[in-house]
Structure formats: C-alpha cells, structure tokens
Amino acid sequence: MSLREKIEKLKEEKGAVILAHNYQTLDIQEIADFKGDSLELAIKATKVDANLIVFCGVDFMAESVAILNPDKKVVVPCKQARCPMAAQLTPEMVREAKKSGYPFIAYVNTHASVKAEADVCCTSANAPDVAKGVAKEKCFMGPDANLAAFASKKARVDVIPVPKHGYCYVHKAFQVEDVIAAREKYKDVEVIVHPECDVEVQNLADFVGSTSQMLKYAEKSDAKTLVVGTEIGLIERIRAEGINAVPLRRSVCIEMKLNTLEGVYKALLEEKNVVKVDETIASRARRAIEKMFKVME
Ligand code: 13P
Ligand code: SF4
C-alpha cells in the first residue's frame, strides 16, 4: 500500500480531517480534505465536525484552529514548523501601542498570546476591510509592515505598523528589478503578488492579494503568462490547474516545507503532536478572531 493509500485508510478509520495551507507541497495538498489561505482555513475550522484535525501549515494557523475548536484534537506533522515572522510581535508591544487608545489589529501570523492582547485579528485577505471596520482615523497593525501599508492604502486610514519594519523573509526576497525583468521577458503577462511583498513591488503589480485571492485571479486571467510573487507552493498549485504560472523569483518558506507526507501519516497514526493553547489565553484570542469574522459580515 502506498503512503498516500495508508493515509486515506487511516483518515477514514479515525474519521479525521486534513486541512492544508496553499504553501504545502503538492503531495500534501492532494490528500487534504480542504486547502486554502489563512482566512479560509480559519473559517473552515469553525465548520469541521471531525474530532481529529491534522493541520498542515505553520504554528499560528494550527493554533487558530485549536483556539476555534477547544473540544477537538488538533495535531500537526511537524512541531518545528513555526512562522518566524510571528515572533516579531510580542504581547508587550501590543500593550504598549494600545496605551494611545487606538485599536490594535493582529495579523493572524502571530502567537495566541499576541492575539489575546489585540482588539481584532486580520489576514492578508481582509486586512483593508478590518482596518476600515475598526479604525475611525488610526489603528495599529503587526507584525508585517508591508501588509499594514497595503491595508492603509486600500482602506484610506492611518495604519501604523508595529514593529516598524516587521517582515516575512520569503516575501522580502522579491525585488522591483524582478518585476521589471519579468515584464521585459514575457509579452502577454500579468504580475500578481502577496501583500507581504515590499510596497515598491506591490505598486508595480497588476494584483495584490492573499494566496487564495491570487489563485482565483489566476483562474480568471486571460494573460498568457502569470508571474507570481509569493511562496513556491502556491505557484505549484496554480500550475497544477493547467495555468501557465512562473515565479517572480523562486522563494521558499523553509518552515512550511518541514511538513512531509510521512509526517502527516505519523501525526494521524500517533496523534502525538497535539496543539494546545492555554484556555485563559485561548478565550481572549478567540474573541479577537471572532471579532474579525463579525467585521466581515
Ligand atoms: P495567506 O493567508 O495569504 O495564505 O498567507 C499566509 C502566509 O503565511 C503568507 O506568507
Ligand atoms: Fe511566515 Fe513568511 Fe512562511 Fe508565511 S511565508 S509562514 S509569513 S515565514
């Protein structure tokens, strides 16, 4: 029996569900019951009725699923799959910023203890809407400064980044020169990028959006070539749909790639890598995530 068949069989026997982020390798995406961006995965997490959830992504995403499902068991293929950007914002930094009286929007790429201090959460798919929804004139957002700038421009409110220069190393890799070179190389081309890319790169793109928003854009685009500025997993996913997508530059999230099919099988079999969030923190973090869902209504 192949590893894939073993996973399918075990999943069936245990009545488990596998959720995977768009950056996971294609073999993991293929065995997932549901795949999506951070927002879609968080929404899906509120609708899952299985008691065992195998989450394939990074720590903050699995934590959000656990926070939203306190009575379910959430396991991960690899405990070391942690988003390094999440560590750039601490609960103390949120508390300090909030002394000014303005609301704090925590990007979901944060630890539960940070979400617990924030007024509301956002993802790359809804950051402008959340900023517009909670800020009269000004708000804070962190840790990604490029997402804060994107939200500020789109929502037309003052979004102050905390920390000042928080970033994702995977998206920092994309350069203005890459966009210029891509437009020279391909004739009928569209450039789509993630809002974690530098503002100068965003400004040269045809579309800026979350991973799933980019996928949807790609599915509708008539361009001969789509040049995509985000982690390589999404480009593989777009290509798997028969769309001619090329990377703006090959950039890999090492942490996302720590998950393997073998790891998924072991997680299902042993149920050892359980994601647990202390309920005193979880209840406050849940409030911030649920407020995000409310703002979107
Ligand atoms: P999305 O929510 O757009 O999938 O992004 C998650 C992420 O980690 C981007 O680097
Ligand atoms: Fe974190 Fe960047 Fe990896 Fe996304 S791509 S999980 S923000 S390090």
pLDDT of residue 137: 87
Ligand closest to CA 252: 2
Ligand 2 in reach of 253 Cβ (< 6 A): yes
From the alpha carbon of 38, which atom of ligand 1 is closest? Answer: 2
The CATH superfamily holding the domain 85-167+281-295 is NadA-like (3.40.50.10800)
The residue whose C-alpha atom lies closest to atom 8 belonging to ligand 2 is 83
Task: Render pLDDT for 156-170 as a digit per residue (tens, 0 to 9).
Answer: 999 999 999 999 999
d(CA 148, ligand 2 centre) in Å: 16
Domain locations in the chain as residue ranges: 3-81+256-276, 85-167+281-295, 174-247
Nearest atom of ligand 1 to the alpha carbon of 36? 4
Provide the 3-class DSSP secondary structure of residue 95. Answer: helix
Closest residue by Cα to residue 245 from 172, 166, 182, 162: 182
- Shortest CA distance to 102 belongs to which of 128, 136, 56, 78? 136
CATH topology of domain 174-247: Rossmann fold (3.40.50)
Which of 211, 213, 254, when mutated, tests ligand 1's pocket best, judged by the most ligand atoms within 8 Å of its CB? Answer: 211
C-alpha dihedral (230, 236, 242, 246), degrees to nearest 10: 50
- Kindly give the distance from the C-alpha atom of residue 210 to the centroid of ligand 1, in angstroms, as a whole number: 6
Report the run of H or E that residue 266 belongs to, with start and end.
helix 261-270
The per-residue pLDDT for 1 is 92
The residues, ordered by sequence, that sit 6+ positions from 67 with a Cβ below 8 Å of its Cβ are 112, 115, 277, 282, 285, 286, 289
> Residue 14: what residue type?
K
Ligand 2 centroid, distance to 84 Cα (angstroms): 7
Tell the residue nearest (CA) to atom 1 of ligand 1.
37
Taking the centre of ligand 2 as the mean of its atom positions, its distance from the CA of residue 287, in whole angstroms, is 24
Q: Please tell me the number of the ligand nearest to residue 108's CA.
A: 1
Q: Name the CATH topology of 3-81+256-276.
A: Rossmann fold (3.40.50)
HSE-CB at 206 with a 13 A cutoff on CA atoms is: 19
pLDDT tens track of the chain, all 297 residues? 999 999 999 999 999 999 999 999 999 999 999 999 999 999 998 899 899 999 999 999 999 999 999 999 999 999 999 999 999 999 999 999 999 999 999 999 999 999 999 999 999 999 999 999 999 889 999 999 999 999 999 999 999 999 999 999 999 999 999 999 999 999 899 999 999 999 999 999 999 999 999 999 999 999 999 999 999 999 999 999 999 999 999 999 999 999 999 999 999 999 999 999 999 999 999 999 999 999 988
Q: How far is CA 67 from CA 73, 112, 140, 237, 292, in A?
A: 11, 8, 23, 28, 14
- Write down the pLDDT at residue 80: 97
In angstroms, the CA 52 to CA 250 distance is: 34
Ligand 1 pocket residue status of 22, Cβ below 6 Å? yes
* Structure tokens belonging to residue 93: 């930094």
Residue 134's contacts (CB-CB under 8 Å, 6 or more residues apart) are 103, 105, 119, 120, 295
Question: Is 197 touching ligand 2 by the criterion CB < 6 Å?
Answer: no
d(CA 167, CA 181): 24
Question: What is the pTM for the complete model shown?
Answer: 0.96
Residue nearest to atom 8 of ligand 1 (CA): 109
CA contacts within 13 A on the Cβ side of 158: 6
Give the distance (Å) from ligand 2 centre to CA of residue 22: 12
CA–CA distance, 127 with 135 (Å, rounded to integer): 12
Give pLDDT tens digits for 95-154. Answer: 999 999 999 999 999 999 999 999 999 999 999 999 999 998 899 999 999 999 999 999
**Side chain identity at 244, as an amino acid letter?**
N
| Direct distance between the N- and C-terminal alpha carbons of the chain, in angstroms, rounded to an integer | 46
